[in-house]
Structure 1
């Protein structure tokens, strides 16, 4: 799992104290064995939502007589409108994940509480161990809360998911949640698999899709490494669909297109909405991507995926499956500039963690 926000770790004591006050004032939600509904909460981005799917499916398989709901960020709506899932998905605009109106968030939260009052709740799960999420579940009053207690709120939890405190892949933490609920699961079994809900979009184009952007600045492929990768793959992948990421500047896109022309690729520079991109991924055979939600989505769709990692650790956030190759960039000389997971590069040689990444293809 990725590192928890350090400022919330420091506030853990205060968060625990605050949770005690809330319990004194409003009482603690308890597990209801007679309830008929379960809520799973994860407000993070696309890749996290993809990794949540096996967790929800395992809970549903072991509780087939109950209603299973998934509450996630509204930015994941294009994903769940494009794939087949057999559980209801609800959305909310969370201002600390993506900037937005606090007023809109509170109004949506209030409406959800009214909607949920019609159900008898068994328990609810925060997959992140995030005190803010635990507060949301406490307010919604949707049964006993199951979660980790890394950032506080332990007194609000009806069941604490224990671990050894060592950072692991997000899927490994999901397995811990399942085991805490009495559902047998292993990390090796935890491979997301999804299908598009439109059969016509499953027709393959036999092209290779490349996505060199991501939500974070340090997860965008440096141009020199992009050129080296193109040289490496051009013998076997002549038809290229290059996804123009909104985070990338026009100059970057122009430089990429110049490379594709120079190396005589048959290419398409693609720019569009996420829902259209998901459908497009369903039609290609191979994907080369940065550490991003697109990489996780492509892997879950069963594509042959190669994922490039610079400042993030492939062992903590990499897509899963035998059809996935996760390549960790690392400085060839010192071997120390990798997996910092910083927002901005602090090295004197910018983006050194991507150096020679193409040599590992």
Structure 2
């Protein structure tokens, strides 16, 4: 059995636990009658970061096509709610923020309360099938406690014996969106040509247009995202400003910086300290939600950012997208997948400090002119 834990004691614990669970489930099957397997109510779970929820959304259209008359709900964390809020292939989005996503992580009693809360959501929903796309033991345990008849997931953190449908987790490099689709095969869902799409409200589009009007941005702008969720994905700000100077001098593109509300003051301070000879740099950090950011990216000439949610939004929005991808992760598994995406990768295990501003300027030049920047 494949476990994704890095610590050996965790692997050993869940190996032993799964052995006991397998024996228990086998015995239980001898005494409990198998229930009806008609699937009429489905819950899809992806409690994770925004980029992970984006990659998870690829399963929704194929599920709807296979089960056209079923009720399909999606369980998402509050910070990624808007990613699936307007998806036409689901009936309802349920917000759930488990304690295991708190920083610092909470103790065992909080974990138990979280599993109990999730079990209640599943029970109240009356779901015939629950699909956990994260492969989380706590999610698996919750659906088993409620005795959901069709329990789908990867047992990569333990609990495989508690699942009714658990295909092999192939130990090869696969993009997360493809791995999500592979899981569905166990319930008869096939989607060889599925692609990622996002759906946001008309209000979000109108708000995005108004934001651009308020800053007198009507065309020829480049969007930057400088602050990732993890320090290992940070690229030096001086290099970002060097790239801004390059695109202004070469293409007269207005730099527009996006980010969270907590980034706004930091960005303002960095702009003030910079000595760039650019008429203006627009700081939109904290001024636009995910839907507004998506539509702002649709109108951009290009996007440059670190490995984070806006890079996925840009790729799907259709903007020319350059992603600075740290060597701590494998881009073939986690990076946005689209023909409009260029990945700048320092190499496995290497930090973004190994990527120079000249490297990024060269990719920009190649996109616009098919040439590489000279010294």
TM-score in terms of structure 2 length: 0.77
- 2:179 is equivalent to residue 173 of structure 1: yes
Report the Cα offset of residue 29 of structure 1: 11
Q: Secondary structure at the match of 2:43?
A: strand
Deviating more after overlay: 173-182 vs 290-299: 173-182
Q: Which residue of 2 aligns with 1:93?
A: 97
The whole-number CA distance in structure 2 between the counterparts of 1:29 and 1:217 is 52
2:312 counterpart (296, 314, 339):
296
Report deviation, 1:152: 2.1
Match of 2:149 among 143, 148, 172: 143
Q: Describe the superposition over 1:67-105 as per-residue Cα deviations: whole angstroms up to 9, x where unpaired.
A: 111112222234345x44441111211222233767777
Partner SS state of residue 164, structure 2: strand
Pick the structure with greater CA Rg.
2
The verdict on how the C-alpha distance between 1:145 and 1:73 changes in structure 2, with shifts beyond 3 A counting, is same
Secondary structure at 1:117's aligned position in 2?
Answer: helix
Kindly report which structure 2 residues correspond to 1:105-124, keeping only aligned pairs within 5 A, or say none.
110=116, 113-117=119-123, 119-124=125-130
TM-score, with structure 1 as normaliser: 0.79
Distance 2:243 2:142 in 1: 44
Tell me the equivalent position of 1:354: 355
Q: Which moved more, 1:350-359 or 1:90-99?
A: 350-359
2:239 partner SS: helix
2:334 aligned residue:
317
Maintained 8 Å contact 1:240/1:265? no
Check conservation: 1:243, 1:270, Cα contact below 8 A. yes
* Structure with greater proportional helix content: 2
- Aligned-pair CA distance for 1:64: 0.9
Partner residue in 2 for 1:333: none
Report matched runs for 1:1-361 at 5 Å: 4-7=4-7, 8-17=10-19, 19-20=21-22, 23=25, 32-81=36-85, 83-87=86-90, 88-99=92-103, 110=116, 113-117=119-123, 119-186=125-192, 189-198=193-202, 199-201=205-207, 203=209, 205-206=218-219, 207-234=221-248, 235-236=250-251, 238-245=253-260, 254-259=269-274, 262-272=276-286, 276-284=289-297, 285-286=299-300, 287-311=303-327, 312-328=329-345, 330=346, 338-340=347-349, 351-355=352-356, 357-358=359-360, 359-361=362-364
**Aligned equivalents of 1:305 and 1:178: distance in 2?**
30
- Determine the C-alpha separation between the residues in 1 that align with 2:138 and 2:68: 29
Partners of 1:108 and 1:288 in 2: CA distance? 38
Deviation at 1:41, TM superposition (A): 1.2
Report the aligned-residue RMSD.
3.3
Could you list the runs of 5+ residues in structure 1 that have no partner in the other structure? 331-337, 341-346
- SS of aligned partner of 2:313: helix
Question: For 1:29 and 1:154, how far apart are their aligned partners in 2?
Answer: 20
- Structure 2 residues without counterparts, runs of 5 or longer: 213-217, 365-375
Number of residues of Structure 1 aligned to a counterpart in Structure 2: 338
Structure 1 range deviating more: 11-20 or 305-314 = 11-20
